Amino acid sequence: MIKQLEQLEMLIGKPVQIDVSLAKYTTFKIGGPAKYFFIAQDNEDLVRAMTFAKKLKIPGCVLGGASNVLISDQGFAGLIIINQAKDIVLKKDNRVVADAGVNLMTLVNKTAEDGLIGLEWAAGIPGTVGGAVRGNAGAYGGQMSDNLIGVEVMRGSKQFILDKKNCGFGYRDSVFKHNNDLIISAEFQLQKGDKAQIQARIKEILAQRQAKQPLEYPSAGSVFTNVLIGSHNQDLLKKVPNLPKEYLEYEKIPAAWLIEQLDLKGKTIGGAQISNKHANFIVNIKDASANDVIQLISLVKMKVRDTYGIELMEEIEYIGF
């Protein structure tokens, strides 16, 4: 291990740490140690670290805000790269380029200060641009793909811009969830608007998040994606009684509503709990382990499947399992 570490440090040109606990780097405050650990301060660091990890056949994983992940209690047997590249460039024609490591709230504030409309919906999301692009994050009627022009990626040893049409965006999905592309930065097309109105909308969204979400506890945000209703699954409507009309109109059943119908709010295993405030949040109420969370997730999936015939899909990403 020492020889491999020395090789990695020599190639990257900067120190690499070993056996670093990942719990303090995740919003869940859960996770074992990374065999190797490196903080990328800029895109050059990011590309070099991932390139040379591959060269040495070391598994590599990039984390930004680590807000939508569950890391194994055993940690990660490879190189964890914390991406802190943070450049934001305001270009002509109301276009903005942001490094993948930029915190979403920082980007929301920066564009709002410039009177640009399009990213207000992301106010309060604790993740980074890279993770949000990868999962096509969305809330309050908006999502990353709405204003995105293209994504700078590294695929193999080549770096290039992937146009939006080639990003395979879907509901909480993208091509990046299914390939090994390294997201370096993203470009957005925004519009000019009234600064006061933009700030008011951001303030309104932050207040709604505060009221509806259990922000007082560590969590990974929404655990499950909502259930889309379409021609492919009309039969499930017969199995879900008392479905509110607005869900039929939006063609989407909130996972939180399904979980709440089964009286699972407040269910606790170890230090993990299904939030009493929002049923699609699992919160770390007291030194929860990843295993505690996994057991709760399994319980919810089983109950929803057995009762409604619906297979809930996780929105969170598993690392080290």
What would the DSSP string read from start to end of 44-107?
Answer: HHHHHHHHHHHHTT--EEEESS--SEEE-TT-EEEEEEEE----EEE-GGGEEEEETTSBHHHH
Q: What is the maximum alpha-carbon separation in the chain?
A: 62
Contact 316, 68 (CB under 8 A): yes
End-to-end CA distance of the chain: 21
The CA-atom distances, in angstroms, between 68 and each of 137, 314, 319 are: 10, 10, 11
Residues forming the active site:
172, 222, 315
Distance CA 59, CA 79 (A): 6
Distances (CA, A) of 185 to 101, 151, 191, 201: 8, 6, 20, 26
